[in-house]
Amino acid sequence: MTNPTAYFRLARVGWVLVREGVVTELPLQELPASARFLARVVGLFARRRKPGEGRSARLAHAIERLGPSYVKMGQFLATRPDVVGVAIAEDLSALQDRMATFPMAEAKATVEGSLGRPVSDLYVSFDEPIAAASIAQVHPAVVRDKDGERRVAVKVIRPGVRQRFVHDLQAMYAASHLQERFLPHTRRLKPVEVTRTLEQTTKVEMDLRLEAAALSELGENTAGDPGFRVPKVDWERTGRDVVTMEWIDGVKMSDIEGLRAAGHDLNALADSLIQSFLRHTLRDGFFHADMHQGNLFVDPEGHIVAVDMGIVGRLGRKERRFLAEILFGFITRDYVRVANVHFEAGYVPSHHDVASFAQAIRAIGEPIHGQPAETISMAKLLTLLFEVTELFDMETRTELVMLQKTMVVVEGVARTLNPRFNMWKASEPVVGGWIRDNLGPKRILADLRDGAHAALRLAEAAPEIAAKAEKLSLDLSAMADKGFRFDEATAEAIGKSEARHGRAGRVALWVIAATLVYIAWVVS
């Protein structure tokens, strides 16, 4: 049962979206006529637009008014165009995670509480914040060790952000449950599961030890890679609420003129960026899932340095093979194979026709071969893909959608460096090599090796499985002899509980309705 206070929070969210004119900009075509009429009515309460203010600006302003939790939710939904639509996802991608800084005294108290030592013992200097986001802010500092003094960046969690997120999350769950109940056609997108994923990813992002671990893992994976690295972590000065890492002296990838002035080859950087991302994805199954320009630097040696690894993605071997098979199928125009891969992986329900799905895939793939490669937009391809998968009831695959969205972002960054960037040509050395190694004879050997390991583990567990099966058999026999007890007192208790919950829900809905009427009366 949803906490009734969640509906009050949800009412506030709705009111802010109405006032900022966001509701009338949402895609309403699939909603019932009554819902479209209601959207037009509430649009009368929207504030007057400022000159030149577009949908993206109004959406950003609304989310910033709602607070840090909703900034983070907006960034998360930017990775889910299948849920919010490609246009809204693009607007959310431009959402700036810039918040007001919190006082130095609170930052130092957080550091000392997390690490158990005075700031003066940990750092030679600890300076004012240079950037603040929804979850944390960054301070420049200096540390001294056996090798002398060195500059570091210290990321400190925002005080009270965890408690605020827990409360706001209740409203998000209420909205997703209402969506599943009243918009049945959206159930395939699993809104409750999407909210649960947001909850999990944000909890991970709020434990800075896990971000440090992600930096460390990606650092090990890419130790021998050309042209890419991540900052080194100072584990002595890292805890749940603070992470200390190497200071990066470099040019932000958003500063195109700065990159040119530093003598960097922009075309080579574009190729290196997409190759690095695909290498992490296909080879390692672990990738930075927030690779926008603000999180990418180029150091004096020309290496791309990725920071802020609060959001990461993982792909298992099955998903990596699925991705490679699809890429290979598009490249070779084998659309039947692409369709079969979707069915084999269980991504498309079996009651659909493979040939019909292959026909739909062909409608996406053929334009690729009819245009110069540098004119093909991954964003447009994904728009078509989402439309097709909706027609065939393909359920949301969180890990694949996050990968697809990150690929769009990386491609966009590469095109700012090189407007004629050919993603397919740049990707071939990595994708082609992985396909040759994993879809040929080496794949068969790897499958045989994995099968042998699985059989060995099963043999080792056989005695334990047999013992559990015997115990289950005895328990079932006992239940058959003695019956399953379900007396009148138990039935009565369940009935009272259900009635109590039903009354609470009805009271909450009436209170919310009264509140909304009052708000409308006050502003009218």
What burial class does residue 13 get, using C-beta atoms within 10 Å of its C-beta: 0-12 exposed, 13-18 middle, 19+ buried? buried
Pick from 398, 392, 291: nearest CA to 77: 398
Active-site positions? 290
Residue 425 has, within 13 A of its CA and on its CB side, a CA count of 13
Pick from 139, 156, 319: nearest CA to 241: 156
Answer yes or no: are the C-beta atoms of 145 and 130 closer than 8 Å: no
Answer yes or no: are the C-beta atoms of 24 and 17 closer than 8 Å: no
Helix (H) or strand (E) holding 423: helix 423-438
Helix (H/G/I), strand (E/B), else coil: 460: helix
In the structure encoding, which two tokens stand for residue 317, read together? 């071997």
- Integer Cα distance of 77 and 239 in angstroms: 28
CA distances to 47, 124, 213, 296 from 290, rounded to whole Å, are 33, 32, 16, 10
- The CA R_g of the chain, rounded to the nearest whole Å, is 27
CA distances to 227, 266, 381, 521 from 274, rounded to whole Å, are 11, 13, 17, 54
In the structure encoding, which two tokens stand for residue 55, read together? 């949908």
End-to-end alpha carbon distance in the chain: 34
- Integer Cα distance of 36 and 278 in angstroms: 42
Cβ neighbours of residue 368 closer than 8 Å, sequence gap 6 or more: 330, 376, 381
- Integer Cα distance of 237 and 210 in angstroms: 14
Distance of CA 513 to the CA centre of its chain: 33
Answer yes or no: are the C-beta atoms of 285 and 317 closer than 8 Å: yes
Helical spans, DSSP H, in 222-292: 256-261, 266-278
The DSSP code for 301 is: T
The DSSP code for 394 is: P
Cβ neighbours of residue 172 closer than 8 Å, sequence gap 6 or more: 73, 195, 198
Range list of β-strands (E), 110-264 = 125-126, 131-132, 136-145, 148-157, 228-229, 233-239, 242-246, 251-252
- Integer Cα distance of 40 and 454 in angstroms: 59
Q: At what angle do helices 354-369 and 335-344 cross, to 10 degrees?
A: 130
In the structure encoding, which two tokens stand for residue 228, read together? 């890419």
The DSSP code for 287 is: E
What is the bridge-based pairing of β-strands 136-145 and 125-126? antiparallel
